[in-house]
Structure 1
Amino acid sequence: MRRFTFLLICLLVLGITAVGFAAPKYGGIWKDALNSNPPYLDPVMATDTTSAEVDYQIFETLVENDTEGNLVPLLAESWEVNEDATIITFKLRKGVRFHATTEGGQPTANGGREVTAHDWVWTFNYICSPETNSPRAYFIDMIKGYDEYREGKTDHLAGVRALDDYTLQFELSGPFAPFLNVLAYNTFVVLPKEDVLKWGEDWNFHPVGTGPFKFEKWIQDDKIVLSKNENYWAKDENGNPLPYLDGIEFRIIIDHAVEWEEFKVGNIYQCYVDDPYYEEAKAKYPDTFFEKPMLGTYYYGMNMEKGPFANNKALRQAMNYAINREALIELVMNGRGEPAKGVLPPGMFAYNPDLKGYTYDPEKAKQLLKEAGYPDGFEVTLQYNTSSGHKRIAEALQAMYAQVGIKVNLKNVEWGTHLDTTARGEVPFFRMGWVADYNDPDNFLYVLLNSANKGPQGNYTRYHNPVFDMLTLRARRETNPEVRKKLYQEAEQIVVEDAPWVFIYHYTTHSLVQPFVKNYVLPSFGQYSNKFTKVWLDL
Structure 2
Amino acid sequence: MIKRTLAIIIFLLLGCENNLDSSKDIFRYNEYSNISSLDPAFSSTLRNIWPTHQIFNGLVRMDKNLNILPDIAEDWTISNDKKVYSFKIKDNIYFHESTYFKNGESRVVNAHDFEYSFNRLINKNIASPGAWVLNNVKSFKAINDSIFQIELFTEFNSFLEILTMKYCSVVPKEIVDSLGSSFSKKPIGTGPFKFKRWDENIKLVLVKNENYHEFDESGNKLPYLDGISIRFIPDKKSEFMEFLSGNLDFISSPENTIIDQIFNIDGNLNENLSDKYNLSKSPYLNTEYIGFNTSTNLKEDLLLRKAINYAIDREKMMKFLRKNIGYPAKSGLVPNGLNDNFYANRYFKNIDLASKYLNEYKQINNVENITINLTTDAQYLDVLEFIQSELKSLNINLKINITPPSILRQGKATGKFDVFRASWIADYANPENYFSLFYSKNHTPFGPNYTFFTNKEYDSLYEQTLIIKDKEQLNKIYMRMEEIISEYSPIVPLYYDMSVRLKQKNIIGLDNNALNILDLKTVYKKN
CA–CA separation in structure 2 for the residues paired with 1:112 and 1:282 = 50
2:167 matches 1:174: no
| Partner SS state of residue 187, structure 1 | helix
1:192-242 CA deviation, whole Å, 9 max, x = no partner? Answer: 222333344444333332112223444555443323323322233344432
CA–CA separation in structure 1 for the residues paired with 2:67 and 2:392 = 44
CA–CA separation in structure 2 for the residues paired with 1:265 and 1:229 = 29
Whichever residue aligns with residue 312 of structure 1, its letter is D
Gaps of 5+ in 1: 1-25, 146-156
How far is the alpha carbon of 1:344 from its aligned partner? 1.1
8 Å contact from structure 1 (residues 292, 524) kept in 2: yes
Structure 2 residue aligned with 1:48: 45
Structure 1 residue aligned with 2:359: 367
2:86 matches 1:89: yes
**Residue 260 of structure 1, aligned match among 240, 247, 250:** 240
Matches within 5 A, 1:441-520: 441-446=431-436, 448-455=437-444, 457-520=447-510
How far is the alpha carbon of 1:472 from its aligned partner? 1.0
1:372-425 CA deviation, whole Å, 9 max, x = no partner? Answer: 6652120413312x43xx233222222223332333344445544543443333
CA–CA separation in structure 2 for the residues paired with 1:401 and 1:40 = 42
8 Å contact from structure 1 (residues 329, 335) kept in 2: yes
8 Å contact from structure 1 (residues 369, 375) kept in 2: no
CA–CA separation in structure 2 for the residues paired with 1:430 and 1:219 = 36
The alignment yields a C-alpha RMSD, in angstroms, of 3.0
Whichever residue aligns with residue 484 of structure 1, its letter is L
Whichever residue aligns with residue 496 of structure 2, its letter is H
Structure 1 residue aligned with 2:323: 334
**Residue 534 of structure 1, aligned match among 507, 522, 527:** 522
2:140 matches 1:140: no
Structure 2 residue aligned with 1:69: 66
Superposition misfits of 4+ residues, deviation over 6 angstroms: none
**Residue 116 of structure 2, aligned match among 108, 118, 122:** 122
Structure 1 residue aligned with 2:292: 302
| Partner SS state of residue 289, structure 1 | strand
8 Å contact from structure 1 (residues 366, 375) kept in 2: no
| Partner SS state of residue 288, structure 1 | strand
How far is the alpha carbon of 1:116 from its aligned partner? 0.6
1:344-392 CA deviation, whole Å, 9 max, x = no partner? Answer: 12332675223644544342463365256652120413312x43xx233
**Residue 276 of structure 1, aligned match among 260, 264, 269:** 260
**Residue 376 of structure 2, aligned match among 380, 383, 388:** 383
Whichever residue aligns with residue 521 of structure 2, its letter is T
**Residue 163 of structure 1, aligned match among 137, 143, 148:** 143
Gaps of 5+ in 2: 1-22
Whichever residue aligns with residue 535 of structure 1, its letter is V
Distance 1:34 1:415, change over 3 A: farther
Distance 1:99 1:367, change over 3 A: farther
CA–CA separation in structure 1 for the residues paired with 2:96 and 2:467 = 38
- TM-score normalised by L of structure 1: 0.82
Stretch moving more, 163-172 or 113-122: 163-172
8 Å contact from structure 1 (residues 60, 210) kept in 2: yes
CA–CA separation in structure 2 for the residues paired with 1:175 and 1:465 = 23
How far is the alpha carbon of 1:436 from its aligned partner? 2.2
Distance 1:358 1:38, change over 3 A: farther
Structure 1 residue aligned with 2:303: 314
Matches within 5 A, 1:345-360: 345-348=335-338, 351-354=341-344, 356-360=346-350
| Partner SS state of residue 211, structure 1 | coil
CA–CA separation in structure 2 for the residues paired with 1:108 and 1:413 = 46
- TM-score normalised by L of structure 2: 0.84
CA–CA separation in structure 1 for the residues paired with 2:299 and 2:189 = 44
CA–CA separation in structure 2 for the residues paired with 1:393 and 1:250 = 30
Structure 1 residue aligned with 2:425: 435
CA–CA separation in structure 1 for the residues paired with 2:120 and 2:412 = 27
8 Å contact from structure 1 (residues 355, 493) kept in 2: no
**Residue 525 of structure 1, aligned match among 505, 515, 522:** 515
Structure 1 residue aligned with 2:7: none
| Partner SS state of residue 469, structure 2 | coil
How far is the alpha carbon of 1:266 from its aligned partner? 0.9
Structure 2 residue aligned with 1:154: none
CA–CA separation in structure 2 for the residues paired with 1:93 and 1:396 = 54
